[in-house]
Amino acid sequence: MSHAVDQLLTILDLERIEENIFRGRSPQVGWQRVFGGLVVAQALVAAARTVEARPPHSLHGYFLLPGDPAVPIVYEVDRIRDGKSFTTRRCNAIQHGRAIFSLSASFQIEEPGLEHAVPMPKVPLPESLPSEAEMLRRFGDSMPDAIRRWFARERPIELRPVDLARYVTHEAGATEQYVWLRATGPLPDDPAIHRAVLAYLSDMTLLDAALGAHGHSVFDTGLQVASLDHALWFHRPFRADEWLLYAQDSPNSGRARGFARGLIFSHDGRLIASVAQEGLMRPKSGAR
């Protein structure tokens, strides 16, 4: 197991303080604010630990304030409903006495039903794409400094973008992007861990689908960029340590916000999850 994956699993293993109260922490890697996907994943873990024998099928969350990586995050779970088939939980993430994130999650018993799914887009497989190390060797000199440093850092999730040009140019116009992702090391067999890791990685690159339409990225210093909300639906079993295709598009942006959505497929083409997100895309005062 890679050090980064081991650290992520440790951070996702929340400390139980009381019956419905948990405490999490952030990796100390010099970030100015907590990564949104980490808060989503930890809130899901907290909510799931108050539910017996029912996996989550959807979650909806709002980012309220930037998280402070220097202090722990307290997660308070409210047991909204325990029905015959469905269970509902609300979870607030709290720092410095204020909520920084609010999550609603729904859980369901396993049961059969009608089934269909759209096919996976025809894109190059991850084995045919350059690794992150190869990307740095081939395109590092053309990448903006912030993107090059991000790819060079050890991380728990490996990315293989289908369209490498998005990371080395500022060409506008494309409203779709495809990225292969997986954990950089093997994960335990517990499906709850794989769902938490998927929640973590589902916040990665998604807003770039909206920013890329205008020739920008989350690394642009002339923009104020932040996730505003996040929604995730789990459809089928999967492993987050195997390659997953994140097919993303952005149907709209305006009023300093960009909307993006994504479909996540397993390597063998099964649709395993859907994601939607809106983010702040505000030019900074005086920026051009």
Q: What is the pLDDT of residues 22-61, one digit of tens each?
A: 999 988 665 678 999 999 999 999 999 999 999 999 999 9
Contact, 261 vs 274, CB < 8 A? yes
Contact, 101 vs 92, CB < 8 A? yes
Provide the pLDDT for residue 1: 54
Task: Cite the active site residues.
Answer: 203, 227, 277
Is 14 strand, coil or helix? Answer: coil
Confidence of residue 219 (pLDDT cuts 50, 70, 90): confident
Residues 6+ apart with CB under 8 A from 176: 209, 247, 248, 249, 250
Provide the pLDDT for residue 154: 74
- What is the rounded distance in angstroms from the CA atom of residue 138 to the CA atom of residue 134? 6
- What is the rounded distance in angstroms from the CA atom of residue 17 to the CA atom of residue 47? 14
The answer to whether the pTM exceeds 0.75 is yes
Percent of the chain with pLDDT over 90: 74
C-alpha dist (Å) from residue 17 to 12, 39, 87, 102, 288: 15, 18, 22, 19, 48
Q: Which of 50, 69, 66, 49 is nearest to 101 (CA)?
A: 66
pLDDT, tens digit, 9 for 90 and up, residues 207-216: 999 998 888 8
